[in-house]
Amino acid sequence: MNNPYPIILDLANKKIAVVGGGKIAARKINSLLAIKVSPTVISPKLANSIPLEQIHWIQDYYQRKYVMTMDLIIACTNNLQVNRQIVQEATARQLVNDTSEKNYSNFYNMATITQNDLLIGLSTIGKSPAKVKKIKKMLEKWLDQQN
Ligand SMILES: C[C@@]1(CC(=O)O)c2cc3[nH]c(cc4nc(cc5[nH]c(cc(n2)[C@H]1CCC(=O)O)[C@@](C)(CC(=O)O)[C@@H]5CCC(=O)O)C(CC(=O)O)=C4CCC(=O)O)c(CCC(=O)O)c3CC(=O)O
Ligand SMILES: NC(=O)C1=CN([C@@H]2O[C@H](COP(=O)(O)OP(=O)(O)OC[C@H]3O[C@@H](n4cnc5c(N)ncnc54)[C@H](O)[C@@H]3O)[C@@H](O)[C@H]2O)C=CC1
């Protein structure tokens, strides 16, 4: 992503698909559930940390027909070719996060800190997720000291 454009999205009434049901999928799904968005999850298997009753589970391998009407697609299978295929088959109006290859993604997540009316978003534009995590911890500590 050469020219990132940061925005805040309201996902109410949007259709979100998560493809894959492993560790990374669980993180993305749980952050969606935290904002009361229930995604469709396409995966033959689901990690235990994914609450089955809160999602719509399609227990199958990825097929284009499952994501045809989706607005946002998060590709997190452990098969890089499948993730790539999801990107290639998406229409120009669908936004795709290929979690295994930032250069194929047209969006990805920022780390966030939310406190009362404040939302801080942090990103290295994919360059160093570990650094984001570290700076987030430092900022949280600093913010706590201000209160
Ligand atoms: C490009 C991006 C795509 C995307 O996933 O959207 C991406 C990619 C990758 N992440 C990797 C690893 C980890 N990512 C995290 C955590 C988060 N990663 C997130 C975002 C992004 N990660 C996107 C842009 C980030 C940016 O702009 O910098 C956050 C902010 C949001 C979210 O995912 O919801 C969330 C913060 C949660 C929080 O603290 O709030 C942890 C920590 C953990 O799991 O506890 C680890 C384990 C390692 C560690 O802890 O060091 C690797 C493997 C290589 C590596 O290790 O570096 C890749 C692949 C690659 O680099 O290509
Ligand atoms: N963005 C990030 O923060 C990070 C991303 N990654 C990337 O995310 C990918 C997934 O990582 P994990 O969740 O740890 O893997 P995992 O092995 O825990 O889970 C993979 C999941 O994909 C499912 N799957 C496999 N083939 C599929 C298909 N054809 N259709 C639908 N689902 C399918 C499996 O059933 C499983 O549920 C890794 O390959 C890696 O490239 C890895 C680390 C961090």
**Total count of domains within the chain:** 2
In Å, how far are 26, 128, 131 from 17, measured between CA atoms? 13, 25, 28
Digit-coded pLDDT (tens) for 90-129: 999 999 999 999 999 999 999 999 988 999 999 999 999 9
Digit-coded pLDDT (tens) for 22-58: 999 999 999 999 999 999 999 999 999 999 999 999 9
Which ligand places an atom closest to the C-alpha of 26?
Answer: 2
Q: Does residue 118 share a domain with residue 93? A: no
DSSP characters over 78-120? S-HHHHHHHHHHS-TTSEEEETT-GGG-S--PPEEEEETTEEE
Between the CA of 122 and the centroid of ligand 2 the distance, in Å, is: 23
Which ligand places an atom closest to the C-alpha of 43?
Answer: 2
CATH number of the domain where residue 23 is located: 3.40.50.720
Q: Does residue 85 share a domain with residue 40? A: yes
Let me know if residue 121 belongs to a domain.
yes
Q: Does residue 129 share a domain with residue 65? A: no
Query: Does residue 82 line the site of ligand 2, with CB under 6 A?
Result: yes
pTM comes to 0.93
SS3 18: strand
Task: State the residue range of the domain holding 134.
Answer: 111-146
Q: Does residue 115 share a domain with residue 54? A: no
Answer yes or no: is the ipTM higher than 0.85: yes
